[in-house]
Structures are given as C-alpha cells and as structure tokens.
Amino acid sequence: MTKSARYTHLHLLPFYDYGSVDETKLDTPQFNWGYDPVNYNVPEGSYSTDPYHGEVRVKEAKEMVKTLHDNDISVVMDVVYNHVYNAGEFCFNVIVPEYFSRVNDNGTYSNGSGCGNDTASERSMVKKYIVDSVKYWADEYHIDGFRFDLVGLLDTETMNEVIEKVHKDHPDVIFYGEGWSMQTSLTKEGYSMTTQTNSTEVPEMAFFSDTLRDLLKGNTFSTTEKGFVSGANGKEKTLQKCFMGLSPEWCTTPSQSVNYASCHDNLSLMDRIIRSTPEASVEERIRMNNLAAAIYMIAEGVPFMQAGEEFLRSKVKADGGLDENSYASPDSVNSLKWSNLEDEQYQNVFQYYKGLIAFRKAHPVLRLDNAEDVKAHVTPVEDLDDNVVAFAITGDVDGETADGMYVIFNANNEKKEVTLPEGNWNVCINDTLAGTDTIETISGTAEVAPVSALILVKGDGNGSTAVASAGTLPAWMAYVFTILVAVVIGACSVWSQKKAGKAGRK
C-alpha cells in the first residue's frame, strides 16, 4: 500500500532497546510504542524472532532496513534522547550519579518530559554520546532520517553537531522533531533549546507545525473544539501563512515546517472530526477529512501523515469509545484495518490521497525551499467570502510544467463561487477526485463544492513530466507518512532538507 501510494519515507516509532515490554515474556500479550529508552544503540529484542541471542535482533533490524530500501522506501527512526526509562538505573547515572540527567535544586530529577527525567544534553560527554549514537545508526544501519521526540528538551549546540557529523558522511539524512517549549532545569548557563521559536538557530532541523494541525481540526487538547475544516470561523489569515510554509510566530522557511493533521499521538484525524462534529453525517466528515488532507499536502513545506489516515483510520476501544492515547493499547485498537479498503467509501478516500500525493510530486512550485521564493510565487487571494481561502501560484519555476495554478479551499457547508483570472483552467482536484489528469476545463468563475478543495492548473502541462530543480525540494521529498503496526511501529515521513541525494540508500 505504501508503494502504491508512492510515499518515500517510512518513519518507524522507536525500535532501539526499550524497557516497557519484557523481552522474556513474549508469550504474554504486551504492547507499547517504546518511548522508554534503556539501551540506545541496540535494537529492541521483542521485535526479533529470538531475543535471547543479540546477533539475531541486529541482523533482522538490518534486513528490515534493506528490504525497505530495496523497495525504494527510505527509513526514518524515531529517537528519544530527551529522557530515559529509569534515570536512577540508567548506565551513565550508575557510573557517574546524576550526570546524564538534569537535577532540580531540591535533588529531584527535572521532569519537563513528563516521563520522570530530562537528559542533560548540555554536558559534554552526554552531547558526545548523543552525537555518536545517531551517527552509529546512520553508519551501521543506513537509517535515512531521524525524528527527535521532544527535541525542545535538547540544546541547539548538540543538535547542530549531530546534524553536522551525520551529514559529513550522509548528506541526504533528514532531521525533524517536536519543538515544543517545555520547562527544564539546565545544568549550565548560556544554552538555548531546540524549539520552534529557536528554529533559526538549527536551520537544518524541521519541526512539526502544531499551528497548522490545530488550525485544521481544532485544539488537540480540547477535542470538541472545531477547526477550519469542521466549521470554525476566523482562520483565514493564519491559514494563508501556514499554507505558505511560514507559520506565524516561529517558522521563517518552508523547509522547516512539517505540515500534518495527525500522527501516532492523540486522536486520529477522523476520530478528532467525529469528536467535534456529533451532528455531522459520515459523508460530511469525509469531506472534512479530505479538505484537511488537501490543505496540508498541497501547502509549501513537508507533508506528514499517520498510517491509515488515507483510509479513515479510527482507534476504537472495546467499550466503543475513541482511544486518544493508544501507547499501550492492543492490536485490536492500533492495527491498520486493511479490510476497510474493500469498502468503496474507504477506497475512494485512499484514491483521493493518492491523487493528492501525485499532484504534489508533479509540481515543483509546491515544493519551494525558502521564504523568498514562496513570497515571489505564491500570493493569497483577498476579498473572498468567509471561510474561503485561495492562492494564485505562478508557474515560472524551473521544471514546472504548468503556466500557473489556482488553489481554493472552501470550508463552508454551501458551495461558493470564486472569480478566476483570465484564461482557461484545468481542474485537477475537486471534492471527489484528485490527480494530475484534467477533470474538466473551466473559465470565468469556479464553483467550489461545500467543504472541499478546488485546484486548477493553467496551460497544457499538468505536471506529468516535472523534475526537481534548484530552489525546490526534490519530488521524492514530497511526503511524510506515519505508520503503526503490530510488529514494527512506524510513522512515515517524506522529504529532506537537502537538494541532492536519493531516497533509500542501499
């Protein structure tokens, strides 16, 4: 399914050795996402066929990566250097007490992570260990990218050195993470943290855009709140900035904006829509889902999605409720329900996502890598109806086959008319279909269906022969995908900060 949808990177949730699953009791049902580091440089034994012989897990982890590479899928590893499973028993702290972890003035461990302790990345040997560990996975296991959990708890000096050392031998490796600002007790003065607001200090690190996420579906931590796609008002100006990859208050370049609507954390996109729209029909909710997808996939920046979102993933508990924190839930909740694709309704959504990805990959103008180019080529359309946002996009980018593009998002429950620039426009994406083929050709006025996207291309080229060029993110850097499965937990991510290289190093 990943290959047919043409994702480029598979982001696997932690598969280093973690403590929340007992490798000696694999005949007992256990499940955990694995954000509980014990030994950072060893694969997790519970995913192997034989956890009692160390060479088996190493061999099988390498075989997993190679198999994905052989299928042209790059591998992103989720890494959790911001805390450990048990600070008191962690090997560094056993050798030198309280060295690896930050300690408050009262002697307790700093707990900005919410997991009992924070890593003291500002200490020289802790920094060296993190740098060496990441480089080891890139060198030895050929990992193509790293997603840093709660990277806002690690200092910018450490992260820049990680990126520098890895890129010396592997210039295509990508780095992104959660740049939330959290309280932590630094052991030294003069350090800044790797947060969204400090993004300019770590120029080759990208960050999840919770700005766009919450704008689309409502605040993550207030699950009945509506977002732009589900009926919230007054979001137009913020959406304009987010679409251009320039989220207000923190993002200055699209190459640092990871655009998404769902990941492994919290409710899935469809579950979040269900929670906030009790009055809506299934068909109306699917419209909201597809509109959210169209926005973050077509926007400038790096699109990222949770596995299964493309066929309306839902995490339903045994009692019928929706699971918004499934870190230790069984396969009945977390597994991907592939059989749903036999249902036409789910299959139609999958095909819509597939078409959005193909359209993005076909148009280099949607993958601009700096703010100057975005502002030169992407212009918000003003004086539209409430809850309607549109952009006029020029086609004069190297490799772009279209003469121009007009992108319209209508979040209203009724159709809206938008006046088009002069000329004939080919519709490639509407409320039911998406792709690079022309659905119809119109001029003068566009009628945009309720809660939908309408994307039009001007000129003969709809993008089938587009190639990457200077100033744009390469076509294979077009998508990020997150997957959660029973054996290997993953999240999928597509792109890179680099302009050269290939997906999937052999």
Cα distances (angstroms) measured from residue 506 to each of 73, 142, 164, 249, 362:
10, 8, 22, 40, 25
Residue type, 257: S
Helix or strand (DSSP H, E) at 348? helix 344-362
Residue type, 66: K
> Which is nearest to 478 in space by CA: 364, 389, 387, 399?
364
Rounded to whole angstroms, how far apart are CA atoms 401 and 385? 31
Rounded to whole angstroms, how far apart are CA atoms 221 and 229? 17
> Which is nearest to 329 in space by CA: 264, 275, 274, 261?
264
Which member of 36, 118, 172, 178 is catalytic?
178
CA 389 from centroid of its chain's CA atoms? 23
Rounded to whole angstroms, how far apart are CA atoms 34 and 488? 11
Which member of 118, 149, 172, 204 is catalytic?
149
Burial class (CB in 10 A: 0-12, 13-18, 19+), 189: exposed
Q: What's phi and psi for 78, nearest 5 deg?
A: -80, 120
Per-residue tokens: 115: 């997991």
Per-residue tokens: 228: 């732009």
Rounded to whole angstroms, how far apart are CA atoms 177 and 197? 13
Per-residue tokens: 348: 């139609």
500: left (phi > 0), else alpha (psi -120 to 50), else beta?
beta
For the chain, the 3-state helix, strand and coil shares in percent, each to the nearest 5, are 30, 20, 50
Burial class (CB in 10 A: 0-12, 13-18, 19+), 34: buried
CB atoms within 10 A of CB 193: 25
Q: Which residues neighbour 89 within 8 Å (Cβ) at sequence distance 6 or greater?
A: none
178 catalytic? Reply is yes
Name beta bridge partners: 12: 77, 490
Rounded to whole angstroms, how far apart are CA atoms 483 and 478? 17
Rounded to whole angstroms, how far apart are CA atoms 347 and 503? 27
Residues annotated as catalytic are 149, 178
